[in-house]
Structure 1
């Protein structure tokens, strides 16, 4: 195992741990509607910032419109299909007893976000240790808020604490996998295929922000002060991104 990959795996544990800690806190302290709204707005701001700062510049720099279109359309169609499928399944069971419903489209979108984050961290360490360290700090903050957002959503759907923690730990494992791929296999992808991967992630993250996080946030207690946390999350990651 080379030194860069070893450092990548070591520092991957930090965002992974903050994700689990955030999920644990939100699972066992039962956040109220106000807290859920704030966390969901903040997480949406951070994810949107990742799109604007990390993904878009790289996609534009590669300048492959055809492959951008392919990746973006695949991501969009897939996420819309998943959302449509899960909503039909939800409506089908509305006439039955109330059964805790796992928000599949939400978890899939979160999973894609985590995969992209891990991939970015792996790429960051291959670019240099300083870039990797700063990206680790930024992602640790994002993953903490995302962990709380996931746990809050699962709690809101009346999922048991044990099952919530299982989903959180399962999602966190995706970060380790994608960081490893980012530092090894995905580095060898052609420019065209990398454009497809990044564009797919771009559409999935936009879906996560607009159709999941913000929708859920506005279903909770909604005040201008809570909405402001969206912009705070964006600004924090923007500043961190400028220092990398």
Structure 2
């Protein structure tokens, strides 16, 4: 139940991103800067919270299988996104993305409250831009604001559904849980390297924009240290 309450934060972020994009299209420099920031935060969460749980594991085979499944699934989603177009394809793919984010969040809360909290912060920044992307994609196809926001809200509900699935994993055997952690790690790394940073680099960027990745990384590390004091 606690994990579900925290899932409301990224859910609100998705809707807020869509609402902002419906009201005012964000500029490329601002978008790229915050995408770098989000990428740094997510990378820090993956490296600082999930990776340590997999080091020196007693189930290296589970790590390999979970990681391999993560790679295959994320690449398959990318491939499908390249082949299909239209509102249905867009909302479906983003819905799958949000479900995976929720799954990772739920897995984090099964590990520790601190892990879940830090992942909540990281994923909230990420899904903010998912909301922006979905809103811009639907608005470009002539959707009205009311219908657009209702659709984004409905798709956003896949976040708590994913979290429920992730928290349910707490009852699984250790090997299965280890595999899920490996899957979550790959999903987060893919998010940073193949989505946030790729999209951010499509816009012209100066040193300030590029530095936001490291700002986000250091901010989450400092927050983690503050939470352990």
2:107 is the alignment partner of 1:124: no
Alignment of 1:45-194 (within 5 A): 45-89=40-84, 102=90, 108-121=96-109, 123-125=111-113, 131=114, 135-136=116-117, 138-139=118-119, 141-157=121-137, 158=140, 160=143, 161-162=145-146, 164-166=148-150, 168-183=152-167, 185-194=168-177
Closer/same/farther in 2, CA of residues 17 and 139 from structure 1, 3 Å limit: farther
Find the counterpart in structure 1 of residue 200 from structure 2.
217
Give the TM-score, by structure 2 length: 0.80
CA contact (8 A) 1:122 1:180 kept: no
Summarize deviations over 1:121-171 as a string: whole Å, max 9, x none.
Answer: 35434xxxxx48xx54x4554344223311332355435445653454245
Return closer, same or farther for 1:219/1:20 CA change in 2, 3 Å cut-off: same
Select which of 5, 20, 34 maps to 2:15.
Answer: 20
Consecutive unaligned residues in structure 2, runs of 5 or more:
none
> What CA distance in whole angstroms lies between the structure 2 residues aligned with 1:61 and 1:16?
34
| Partner Cα distance (1:118, 1:27) in 2 | 30
Do the aligned partners of residues 154 and 163 (structure 1) sit closer, same or farther apart at CA in structure 2, a change above 3 Å counting? farther
**What is the aligned partner in structure 2 of residue 199 from structure 1?**
182
TM-score normalised by the chain length of structure 1? 0.76
Confirm or deny: 8 A CA contact 1:19 1:140 kept in the other structure.
no
Tell me the number of residue pairs that the alignment of Structure 1 and Structure 2 aligns.
222
Label 1:163 to 1:208 Cα distance change in 2 as closer, same or farther (>3 A).
farther
Contact kept, 8 Å, 2:74 with 2:187, in 1: the verdict is yes
Separation (CA, whole Å) in 1 of partners of 2:174 and 2:50:
14
CA distance in 2, matches of 1:208, 1:38: 16
* Structure 1, unaligned runs of 5 or more: 91-98, 126-130
Q: Distance in 1 between matches of 2:51 and 2:71?
A: 16
- Name the Cα RMSD after superposition: 2.9
- What's 1:93 paired with? none
How big is each residue's C-alpha offset from its partner over 1:175-207, in whole Å with a ceiling of 9 and x where there is no partner? 323444455x32111110001111111112211
The answer (yes or no) to whether the contact 1:71–1:197 under 8 Å persists in 2 is yes
What's the offset of the Cα at 1:220? 1.8
2:31 corresponds, among 32, 36, 40, to 36
